[in-house]
A and B are shown apart, each in its own frame.
Chain A
């Protein structure tokens, strides 16, 4: 498979394979000091050990005034972390590349409390903040900053650096006619001058035998007003030619988007609504334009190995960035062994856990965001956490007297561990080499427990999978006629179909581990009693049920809850005849996906929300503007700041949240998207040997269910002790 083949870069360094783990915000650092943490080291090491060929670390600011988020690394504070990361990655054969950047007007002034820097005082499209036009001295300071940072990275042992001229970068702001309106030497016609100076300085600072990569926004998705593919190709050709004497560029990551227009916001990390690189290829056009010694890396929503291999085989790119795929499965690289569409099951090892393009836990670029993680693998970003991590670390002792492990209490929240010599020295797997199981699985039990898991949603399947991996004998019973629970229900919504892949993966893994799965069986108290009576364990994963409504529905309007409607769509049945009103009390992805699905099937649908705008809870993950755009394209009418008072006779009564004014919309069907309640009829309080996981505790998201399932599986050890 080409993805697993080596690649010799122009500088003479050879990457062990074509799989790149790209730079992204992790929040694993600390706002104090802005360095890299032991958590960073473990995070990147896990991907290198898992088979990534090139690991690019979180973008470090090259100038202290650039402080785009609280934990944003600062290059001058990173050498110690880079050194530890380089050592950890090189030990696994992977290249370790330091991403360097400056966010410019796309940063934040909240942390520096100083004006943002930009080529021209053009307000940022998202924040509307007006930046300060950089003086030539400030331009020179940034160029020097890049060179200094590159020197530090090289000295720390990194394989090289990647210069950020991607979506969120000062360099792109200089390149783009949308944001560079300067009239001096750094403006039109030579908007590239800044980038050229930086690359020249960086190449010189790096010296020979080090990798120089460039992440370049090759299409700002703004027609000809912004950077176009042609302009980007020309730029790439020019800067490479300019650098040839010093060694040239080694690789170029072709990205799209700018954050400077509504439509372009989705270019940076497309969710299930696309567009992905495969759908609208960019890399081949850049590749055709530049010298063959520059390896082109394709990027943008590439999450399946088949997709990646296809791009390499057809010659569109030499390297493929699969960042989210490796957040979802850190061992993606090693799981490519024997993996190809044509390779049959002579090595039926674990298949990669799919990325579902949900962006819900890996996209953490909002205030107060937690560390990066993953819906399917909650241990992502928590590698050093003794509770859910994969690597045992000798962590600094807790403060004297702190007792967070007392039974019945919740473990203390994780903090970034300052990178000390001691900490970096212990940042290695505890002697077992490459972990081939990515979960916090307990050591194989001396005595397997017979486990009955009730419910085959994500919590149940994950409980079963982890318990079976640990050697327990697991039986899963499910009331419905198929597994997957709410994952499959939600997958019926528009743009959410990939959620079903996670259900498929969990099911297949369980089967391969010998878990017995019985569908169409409704468990009762007597099943639990019988299981416990024989010394077995029960984990109740019976999920949720529709919640309270709070308004009356009379004849002439059919009311359904969101799960019921999605279940109907999933079953292949015809959607209800309109007009449909969807009442979204949650503001998340579910109601939106229902509205879009119905509208796409040409059902007349109205969205009713008590909020100021539809799907407002999607704002933190950057999906609000694209969602609004899609709704507008579909022409879906939205009733904002309205709550449902009641329904009947083909009409829904609404009340203005702030005005108290009552109005009506026509609807034959009212789909209520509200908060669910635990389906906990089988839970009668704590019993020896019985545990619960997922929505039955409190209806939440998929990650929470999976995390609960892992914890429940771990606690099975305690059952044995009882």
Chain B
């Protein structure tokens, strides 16, 4: 196949002002927190260079703040500080080595921030508090506006000195320019407020100032918000009019699009898997039909086909693909050679690239444990190199494909931790075998992905399985690994990745209709009628199962001892969409309550619920999946007593089923058995993932990668593992 022919639009070069870019895949701006002391770092350079090496057509860096009055995060790049220039140079040199142009995004967050790090009033067009940060800003006076414009000019100068190919002006979700443009936040009565031409004055002045600074030989782009999703805010019609004004300056080379406002509607700026791909293309479409400038469209694209369609259908000229390339830096290169199946898909989970960054830590990725670590040296191997078994006894595991020789590394458990260990170790050149007791891989992730709207979470495991296949790592299913199997296999290292087991609260007793959320999601039980979901986790677990049951027609109440349901959904931008869906599905929420007692109700009414005893699920029934044998005996409603945190008040509920979303326990028996087993003493023993401590998927993947790399002995010839060496 001719390179790029599968996606002809995506790989058609495009003239962008003074530059021509090789393809339409843009790595757009996203905050990384890689800066230290306000300066760019090696971490930045390696991160952008990896995306350039991976074939991106254009890179736009994270925001560089243009004035000391803006410090929304402790580690923002302070573009106004001349000390940034050497760091800029390192980034641009690293990216230019791959012949990819790179632009600096300039931003001032205005009232989308906090003054705690500057101890100065926030700046804004008017004294309107941002709904998220809730600080009343100072309405900027004339000297403030001049200083702001000067700041953009200074940073543009630094960017030129640092080798950037141009500038993108951020006028979208978290920008002071957006605040000036929007009638909701600009209440000024001077020449910067009122009709659009006045509200756009700051932007037009910034365009002039920056174009003056960078000259005609560099690119200038403007990122606009097409819909603020805010009462009285900018809507599409005005965004189109603004785009025309911008084009009319003759000084701008492209328009990038966005939607949503930080603190108000960011959940539609960096949407998660619950929002369909391409959701924001209407903005690019409307603007593209009104201007001649190239337009970048955005909207959670994570496959080349989606991007190709957006171009082919005429919605946009370029495609913003930031999370997709965080998850796989080689996204574009793989698409170009027609190997889209090899792309490690972004899950749109927002856990490490949004929530983690929001907490002030550096950007990572659940799917790609090396994101943000591109500059780190490889880990030191701990496993001594062993003489390759040359013949040896035929595979003790019998007929499993690829298992004919003795593996160096035996991984027990094909959840995200085990698979990541296996593929990282295999990349390092080890022969690896994975054994899994289930007929399928994926562990908890596979279960979680069964919930409504969560299917893309499963891409984590699909990515890993596909990579294991390419690396010829055999996964042996339906096999319970015990000490004996490890002894017979006699690997150099065994990595226990046996995951977690559900733990039900004490009050649950052993009632068959008090079940763990995972049992519902994987279809082992089918609650019907009225269901109480008791959520003591605060993340997706409880809401997921509540939605699933509500979709099936159950009357669902979700109850938590926390002050709100879904506390941790806020950081991943999943909370608002959950609230909307929960209301639409009739799910009721009860906060600050605990279940203290359970008793079967006196009045029996057959609930119609049924247990599906999945023979492939060798679960210890005592801890969590209910006891199907007792189900008939225990028919009848459940009466629960609910305690109030404040004192002796008690409430009661009568429901048909109770589903618990509780912290799990480690399933670590094999690990402890192996620790004391003399027969496997020669085998190095590791454990990764939930069997260490049940946590979220990113912890499992990181741990798997860490252990897999630590096992690895670098081999000079190939990254292909398996038996072929």
B-chain residues with CB within 8 Å of residue A613 when the two chains form the complex: 563-564, 591
Q: Report how far A587 CA is from B536 CA in the complex, Å.
A: 24
> Is the pair B359, A368 in contact by a Cβ cutoff of 8 Å?
yes
Chain A nearest CB from B102 CB (Å) reads 23
Q: Report how far A253 CA is from B122 CA in the complex, Å.
A: 41
Q: Report how far A265 CA is from B32 CA in the complex, Å.
A: 33
Using an 8 Å CB-CB cutoff, how does the interface string of B87-129 with A read, 1 for contact, 0 for none? 0000000000000000000000000001111111110000111
> Is the pair B663, A698 in contact by a Cβ cutoff of 8 Å?
no
| B697 within 8 A of partner (CB) | no
> Is the pair B68, A408 in contact by a Cβ cutoff of 8 Å?
no
In chain B, what residue has the closest Cβ to A675? B129
| A612 within 8 A of partner (CB) | yes
> Is the pair B136, A698 in contact by a Cβ cutoff of 8 Å?
yes
A-chain residues with CB within 8 Å of residue B118 when the two chains form the complex: 410, 413
Q: Report how far A110 CA is from B361 CA in the complex, Å.
A: 8
Known: A415-B37, A675-B136. A70 touches B536 (CB 8 A): no
B-chain residues with CB within 8 Å of residue A641 when the two chains form the complex: 579
Q: Report how far A415 CA is from B35 CA in the complex, Å.
A: 13
> Is the pair A632, B592 in contact by a Cβ cutoff of 8 Å?
yes
A-chain residues with CB within 8 Å of residue B83 when the two chains form the complex: 399-402
Residue B68 contacts which of A404, A661, A676, A685 (CB distance < 8 angstroms)?
A404
> Is the pair A677, B127 in contact by a Cβ cutoff of 8 Å?
yes
Size class of the B contact interface (CB-based, 8 Å): 35 or more
Chain A nearest CB from B379 CB (Å) reads 13
Size class of the A contact interface (CB-based, 8 Å): 35 or more
Q: Report how far A387 CA is from B38 CA in the complex, Å.
A: 20
Chain A nearest CB from B121 CB (Å) reads 4
> Is the pair A412, B68 in contact by a Cβ cutoff of 8 Å?
yes
In chain A, what residue has the closest Cβ to B565? A612
Residue A587 contacts which of B122, B134, B699 (CB distance < 8 angstroms)?
B134
Chain A nearest CB from B38 CB (Å) reads 8
- A residues 667-687 with Cβ under 8 Å of B? 675-678, 685-686
Using an 8 Å CB-CB cutoff, how does the interface string of B563-599 with A read, 1 for contact, 0 for none? 1100000100001100110011000000110000000
> Is the pair A368, B699 in contact by a Cβ cutoff of 8 Å?
no
Residue A658 contacts which of B119, B122, B359, B580 (CB distance < 8 angstroms)?
B580
> Is the pair A408, B699 in contact by a Cβ cutoff of 8 Å?
no
Chain A nearest CB from B445 CB (Å) reads 17
Chain A nearest CB from B370 CB (Å) reads 13
Q: Report how far A697 CA is from B663 CA in the complex, Å.
A: 48
> Is the pair B583, A659 in contact by a Cβ cutoff of 8 Å?
yes
Known: A110-B359, A130-B663, A378-B119. A413 touches B563 (CB 8 A): no
A-chain residues with CB within 8 Å of residue B121 when the two chains form the complex: 697-698, 700, 704
Chain B nearest CB from A435 CB (Å) reads 21
A-chain residues with CB within 8 Å of residue B692 when the two chains form the complex: 115, 132
B-chain residues with CB within 8 Å of residue A110 when the two chains form the complex: 356, 359, 361
A-chain residues with CB within 8 Å of residue B356 when the two chains form the complex: 110
| A588 within 8 A of partner (CB) | yes
Residue A707 contacts which of B36, B74, B119, B129 (CB distance < 8 angstroms)?
B119
Q: Report how far A629 CA is from B30 CA in the complex, Å.
A: 39
Known: A114-B703, A624-B563. A408 touches B645 (CB 8 A): no
| B163 within 8 A of partner (CB) | no
Interface stretch, picked from A121-129, A319-327, A479-487, A492-500, is A121-129
Q: Report how far A101 CA is from B222 CA in the complex, Å.
A: 50
The CB with the most chain B CB atoms within 10 A, among A113, A115, A614, A656, is that of: A115
Known: A401-B82, A698-B138, A700-B136. A409 touches B68 (CB 8 A): yes
- A residues 694-717 with Cβ under 8 Å of B? 697-700, 704, 707
| B510 within 8 A of partner (CB) | no
| A633 within 8 A of partner (CB) | yes
A-chain residues with CB within 8 Å of residue B702 when the two chains form the complex: 113
Q: Report how far A640 CA is from B582 CA in the complex, Å.
A: 14
> Is the pair A632, B645 in contact by a Cβ cutoff of 8 Å?
yes
Using an 8 Å CB-CB cutoff, how does the interface string of A134-177 with B read, 1 for contact, 0 for none? 00000000000000000000000000000000000000000000
Using an 8 Å CB-CB cutoff, how does the interface string of A255-280 with B read, 1 for contact, 0 for none? 00000001100000000000000000
Q: Report how far A632 CA is from B579 CA in the complex, Å.
A: 23
Residue A128 contacts which of B82, B141, B538 (CB distance < 8 angstroms)?
B538
Chain B nearest CB from A372 CB (Å) reads 12
Residue B117 contacts which of A70, A413, A624 (CB distance < 8 angstroms)?
A413
In chain B, what residue has the closest Cβ to A117? B693
Chain A nearest CB from B670 CB (Å) reads 15
Q: Report how far A699 CA is from B138 CA in the complex, Å.
A: 8
| A367 within 8 A of partner (CB) | yes
> Is the pair B119, A698 in contact by a Cβ cutoff of 8 Å?
no
**7 A-B residue pairings within 8 Å (CB atoms):** A113-B699, A131-B693, A263-B645, A612-B570, A613-B563, A613-B591, A704-B119
